[in-house]
Chains A and B, each alone.
Chain A
Amino acid sequence: MKFDTPAGINPIDRMAVVGKPHDRVDGARKVTGTAPYAYERHDVVPDALYGFILGAAIAKGRITGIDTAHAQAMPGVRAIVTYQNAGKLTLGSKNTAKLLAGPEVEHYHQAVALVVADSFEKARAAAAAIHVDYGRAAGHFDLAAAAKSAKSDGGEDEDGSKSPPIDRIGDFAGAFAAAPVTLDATYTTPDEAHAMMEPFATTAAWTGDALTVWTANQMIAWTREDLATTLGLPKDKVRVDSPFVGGGFGGKLFLRADAVLAALGAKATGRPVKIAMQRPLMFNNSTHRPATIQRIRLGADRSGKLTAIAHECTSGNLPGGSPETATDQTKLLYAAPNRLTAQHLAVLDLPEGNAMRAPGEASGLMALEIAMDEMAEKLGMDPVEFRIINDTQVDPEKPERPFSQRQLIKCLRDGAATFGWSARDARPGRRRDGDHLIGLGVASAFRNNINFKSAARVRLGRDGVVTVETDMTDIGTGSYTIIAQTAAEMMGVGIDRVVVRLGDSDFPVSAGSGGQWGANSSTSGVYAACVKLREAVAARLGFNAPDPDFIDGHVRSGNRSVALADAAKDGDLVAEDTMSWSGLSRKYQQSTFGAHFVEVAVDAYTGEIRVRRMLAVCAAGRILNPKTARSQVIGAMTMGVGGALMEELVVDKRFGFFVNHDLAGYEVPVHADIPHQEVVFLDEADDKVSPMKAKGVGELGLCGVGAAIANAVYNATGVRIRDYPLTLDKHLDWLPTV
């Protein structure tokens, strides 16, 4: 099915199942420990051997020798895989650095060896007994220093085409010079880790020349393809199965070392091998959100109308890597006739930078939305009103393109009313509660909507049960549940009559999980398959009417009503289809919007910053399941607290690695950091995006949170911090004397 004209009325609009806050259909399995995760596939692969990965001890250079003799002789050791015996490995299309080092080392903790042994403990002990000699080479590890030599690089558009490195509209320089009120400020965001609960994990087994990996991955088709490429196998000899994933946040978009090395270990031993990457490797042997240096210049007239916007971002990556597209939202969020956005990419020899939840916008809004707060203050305007008067209903770069739906103003207004924004004193540092300085902050939220081709297979059994199969993944997001709701709605059955099977590369190829495209894209694929199944059912039951109703387990038209299950009494009915998109995203800019409001308390003595309450108002099209959507948003808000206040991969600029590479050193919020969170979804249905009329929320919920916190901290203290994370040492010297 092709989606190329706005959706009309369709069976989803009944919203008997879709749009309801159903509990997760997979929830019971998760809380009873019966959901099979990648490292625990005893159900299908008994007696797997254990793999343990040895990471490189240097950031850049060469392996000059590997002595495995002692390790090989240790008890229980079955195989040791290194570049010397792994055979030819080809770099996958979505990997920047090799997943097994040798002889060159491209980044710290790049895998150097895999030990396979009878137990985890034996494998770990043997890995420690491998002696590797390195020749260390000089590298570039300091973004600020490398920024001087950074090259312009626009990165990729959603469709994979190259974006222009510098985007110019009107005459930015002239308008900025002429503006009576201006801001020119630089903001920095640090490298961040996904730090998902489940590490990279794979169980691998060979049957003859065919490989199966039970793994933790967001994008089954990408990973199948890259695993086949890496190992030099035909794609049809590789099966990837990932029914449950313990968090990804973009870290599991790609093939990683666990899957490749488990496959090589299984090949070397003739036995299934399983690997869960040890936590201390999860920060350097992984991708991460790259650090940015962002310069923002804003010019406005005295009424507060922006006349000039410039946003330039510099990030770094390994050779061949891509930039952090932190200027994306600036092209679309606010009106102004004169605009400049530019991205620069420096070469750094740190681990690969790549997508992490809301890549681009998350980092970009952390800067842009502080700049808007600073500008509002310069103008003497309320920051909510300042944003509202600079709203645009069209793509500012291409005014002929309207937004498909844009309710940013309503998000801001409703949020201000709900949160009690009028209690904010515009003069910073004026509100106290005992020993605490209290501040309120706001930021706009923005994240583009992306649609990806997505297929599904739907089967009606003779028992009336509808089974959905697609390689879509559920990384904790609720995919199982919204897909079940979609199929139930389409086929007119209760959600308990739907079985959903996900994450297997034997199933039709879906959009996968990433970029908050998963919910809308994958349910649209299920919609398409269900439309076909409905046609098959109607034909089988002899309905001549063009479009009978499917309600309450029956198919109805006029006075005729037949049980749905009757259509399959002579054999299952199966339908498969792919939803694809064309045209509408060029004609209409499709984005999601929101507003974040935050109250913080800053300890006037110690400078400790604690968030007291948070509100997100989201406009993201139809909300398929308010309960799982809310979970997505409060999880994103929590991640935003981490990004604002504590998360930073600290670079050792001498040795070139992330120093705090465990969960003691890389701090993420704990329960005590997270206060009352409220989420409001505007009642929307966007007919330009899909028949589901839905967009994503999982990344929107993060976009802007950091800046809202930073603005609240400024409102509390009067000290502006422009470098994340906002740790107490950055404002301590300027706080009131005690």
Chain B
Amino acid sequence: MRAFTYERATSAAGAAAAVAHHAGAKFLGGGTNLLDLMKLEIETPTHLVDIQDLKLDQIEATHDGGLRIGAFVSNTTLSANPRVRRDYAVLTRAIQAGASGQLRNKATTAGNLLQRTRCPYFYDTNQPCNKRTPGSGCAAIGGYSRQLAVIGTSDTCIATYPGDMAVALRALDATVETVDATGATRVIPIADFHRLPGATPEIDTVLNHGELITAVTLPKPVGGAHIYRKVRDRASYAFALVSVAAVVQPDGSGRVAFGGVAPKPWRSAAADAAIPHGAAAVVEQAFAGARPTHDNSFKLTLAKRTLAAAMAQVRTA
């Protein structure tokens, strides 16, 4: 771990300014990912701005019937919230499928969105990794890629976005609210929040340096059956090989996002439109143009079968 300085911000715009004016600065939320990465010198911030005093820990109703979730709300609190459980059950199920009770107590809503990839080559600083060290190469391409992405990849990076919560947020059409050093705010649709790697895999999201997430907003409830199905090699405490967040309406229409398959939660309008035609049709649309490796081509079959399981669950629910 490199030496760094630390401050506790007292306002959101102030926090944004503190990071914006310091080239190597980062925000610190629950620290469940950032601090681990700092110990391994994968992240080497020179300054940390702690946002725990900003009172971003509220969940409140929005005027249009949705929910506004403060950036600092913990995963545990969010997943247990009665309105979330009632109206956005796919979110509760996704959060509870991730990590462990201890980690969920500490992990925050904004921090979880910013969780970095779990690609093993990203974690080993002896190995080339374009996401960790731009231009160094990608050891995962041609290496051990069973867990990695099958679509949305580039010739520089095949890492997955590892989280569960964001997959549900993608299915729910959440938006991400931010503030910058000038106090200006913007609202980013979750669909646009995470980037594909292209030639710059080191940039995970569209956030600018010094732009602070203040909240995640859910639109008004859409009803339907809410399913989150996560498939992994062991029963708990593992990242998804494939996960499916699905919301299916009584008329058979719905929306579906996939996790564990791409650099971002993966959803497409064409795939949603295919839901009435069954899992195979959805996966054909969602994964058109997929470029799996030898190690992870099974994820295409698994995605189809997992979605079929989710849809069967809807029918029997």
- The answer to whether B309 touches A738, judged by C-beta atoms less than 8 angstroms apart, is yes
Flag if A652 contacts B143 (CB, 8 Å): yes
Nearest chain A residue, comparing its CB with the CB of B235: A672
Q: Is the CB of A729 within 8 A of B298?
A: yes
- Comparing A146-154, A361-369, A663-671, the segment that makes contact with chain B is A663-671
CB distance from B279 to the nearest CB of A (A): 8
State A732–B308 Cα separation when bound (angstroms): 14
Interface residues of A in 587-606 (CB under 8 A from B): 603, 605-606
Let me know if A435 and B235 touch, CB within 8 A: no
Given contacts A125-B1, A125-B3, A435-B312, contact A605 B41 (CB under 8 A): no
0 or 1 for each of B230-247: is its CB under 8 Å from A? (1 = yes): 011111111101000000
Does the CB pair B41–A128 fall under 8 Å?
A: yes
> Residue B305 contacts which of A124, A650, A671, A738 (CB distance < 8 angstroms)?
A738
A664 touches B118 (CB 8 A): yes
Which residue of A280, A603, A607, A608 has the most chain B CB atoms within 10 A of its CB atom? A608
Contact of A732 with B301 at beta-carbon distance under 8 Å, contacts A603-B309, A606-B306, A652-B144 already known: yes
Specify which of A605, A645, A729 is in contact with B306 (CB 8 Å cutoff).
Answer: A605
Distance A655 CA – B142 CA, assembled complex (angstroms): 11
Q: Which chain A residue has the least Cβ–Cβ distance from B236?
A: A672
Q: Which chain B residue has the least Cβ–Cβ distance from A605?
A: B309
Asked if A1 is at the interface of the complex by the 8 Å CB criterion, the answer is: no
CB of B228 closer than 8 Å to a CB of A: no
Query: Taking the complex as formed, is A381 at the interface, i.e. its CB lies under 8 A from any CB of chain B?
Result: no
A368-403 to B contact mask, C-beta < 8 Å, 1/0: 000000000000000000000000000000000000
Contacts of B39 in A (CB 8 A): 124
A607-B144 contact in complex given A655-B127, A665-B120, C-beta closer than 8 Å: no
| A667 B305 Cβ-Cβ under 8 A | no
Which residues in window 220-264 of B have CB below 8 A to A? 229, 231-239, 241
Q: Is the pair B123, A662 in contact by a Cβ cutoff of 8 Å?
A: yes
Q: Is the CB of A667 within 8 A of B124?
A: no
The chain B residue sitting closest to A662, CB to CB, is B123
Within 8 A of B (CB), among A696-738: 725, 727-729, 732-733, 735, 738
Chain B residue nearest to A729 (CB atoms) is B298
Q: Is the CB of B238 within 8 A of A654?
A: no
Please name all residues of chain A whose beta carbon is closer than 8 Å to the beta carbon of B144 when the two chains form the complex: 650, 652, 659-660
The answer to whether B235 and A673 touch across the interface, beta carbons within 8 angstroms, is: yes
Residues of A within 8 A of B308 (CB): 605, 738
A302 to chain B, nearest CB (A): 40
The verdict on A646 contacting chain B, using a C-beta distance below 8 Å, is yes
Alpha-carbon distance between A665 and B143 when the two chains are bound, in angstroms:
15
CA distance A664 to B40 in the complex (A): 14
User: For the complex, is A121 an interface residue (Cβ under 8 Å from B)?
Assistant: yes
Chain A contributes a number of interface residues (CB within 8 A of B) equal to 40
Any A CB within 8 A of the CB of B63: no
Please report the C-alpha to C-alpha distance between residue A661 and residue B144 in the assembled complex, in whole angstroms.
12
The number of inter-chain residue pairs (CB within 8 angstroms) is: 99
User: In the complex the two chains form, what is the Cα distance from A670 to B306 in whole Å?
Assistant: 22
Highest count of chain B CB atoms <10 Å: which of A603, A662, A728, A735: A728
Dominant SS among interface residues on chain B: loop
- Asked if A311 lies at the interface with its beta carbon under 8 angstroms from chain B, I say no
A57 is an interface residue with CB less than 8 A from chain B: yes
The answer on a CB contact under 8 Å between B302 and A728 is: yes
A610 sits at the interface (CB 8 A)? yes
Q: B118 and A655: CB pair below 8 A?
A: no
In the docked arrangement, what's the CA distance between A415 and B312, Å? Answer: 37
From A646, A729, A735, B234 is in contact (CB under 8 Å) with: A646
Chain A residues near B302: list those with CB within 8 A: 606-607, 728-729, 732
Q: Is the CB of B120 within 8 A of A654?
A: no
CA distance A659 to B147 in the complex (A): 12
Contacts of B40 in A (CB 8 A): 280
Closest residue of chain B to A603 (Cβ to Cβ) is: B309
A121 proximity list for chain B (CB < 8 A): 1
In the bound complex, how far is the Cα of B123 from the Cα of A362, in angstroms? 31
| Nearest CB of chain A from residue B131's CB, rounded to whole Å | 16
Chain B residues near A667 (CB, 8 Å)?
233-234, 238
Q: Judge whether A124 and B1 touch: CB under 8 Å.
A: yes
Distance, CA A667 to CA B239, complexed state (A): 11
Contact bitstring A593-631, B, C-beta under 8 A = 1, else 0:
000000000010111101000000000000000000000
Q: Which residues of B contact A650 (CB under 8 A)?
A: 144, 146
**Which chain A residues border B123 with CB–CB below 8 Å?**
280, 662, 665
What residues on B are CB-neighbors of A128 within 8 Å?
2, 41
Q: Assuming the A-B contacts A664-B118, A670-B234, are A654 and B143 also in contact, with contact meaning beta carbons closer than 8 angstroms in the complex?
A: yes
**Within 8 Å of chain A (Cβ to Cβ): is B166?**
no
Given contacts A732-B298, A732-B302, A738-B305, contact A670 B120 (CB under 8 A): no
Docked-complex contact B235 and A670, CB < 8 angstroms: yes
| A657 CB to nearest B CB, Å | 8
Please report which residues of chain A, range 413-465, place their CB below 8 angstroms from some CB of chain B when the two chains form the complex: 435
Docked Cα-Cα span, A660 to B233, in Å, equals 14
Q: Cβ of A645: which chain B residues have Cβ within 8 Å of it?
A: 233-234
How distant is A582 from chain B, measured CB to nearest CB, in Å? 47
Residues of B within 8 A of A654 (CB): 142-143
Q: B165 contacts the other chain (Cβ, under 8 Å)?
A: no
B73 located at the interface, meaning its Cβ lies under 8 Å from any Cβ of chain A in the complex: no
B126 within 8 A of A: yes
Q: Distance (Å) between the CB of A4 and the closest chain B CB?
A: 49
Q: Can you show 24 pairs from A to B with CB atoms below 8 A apart? A: A124-B1, A280-B124, A435-B309, A605-B312, A606-B306, A645-B234, A646-B233, A646-B234, A650-B144, A655-B127, A655-B139, A655-B143, A659-B144, A662-B123, A665-B120, A667-B233, A670-B236, A670-B237, A673-B234, A728-B231, A728-B298, A728-B302, A732-B301, A735-B305
* Chain B residues at the A interface, C-beta cutoff of 8 Å: 1-3, 39-41, 118, 120-121, 123-124, 126-127, 139, 142-144, 146, 229, 231-239, 241, 279, 298, 301-302, 305-306, 308-309, 312
Query: What 7 pairs between A and B have smallest CB-CB spacing?
Result: A605-B309, A672-B235, A57-B126, A729-B298, A672-B236, A738-B308, A659-B144
Other than the given A128-B41, A673-B234, 17 more pairs (CB < 8 A) read A121-B1, A125-B1, A280-B40, A605-B309, A605-B312, A645-B233, A646-B234, A650-B144, A652-B139, A654-B142, A659-B124, A661-B124, A665-B120, A728-B241, A729-B302, A732-B305, A735-B305
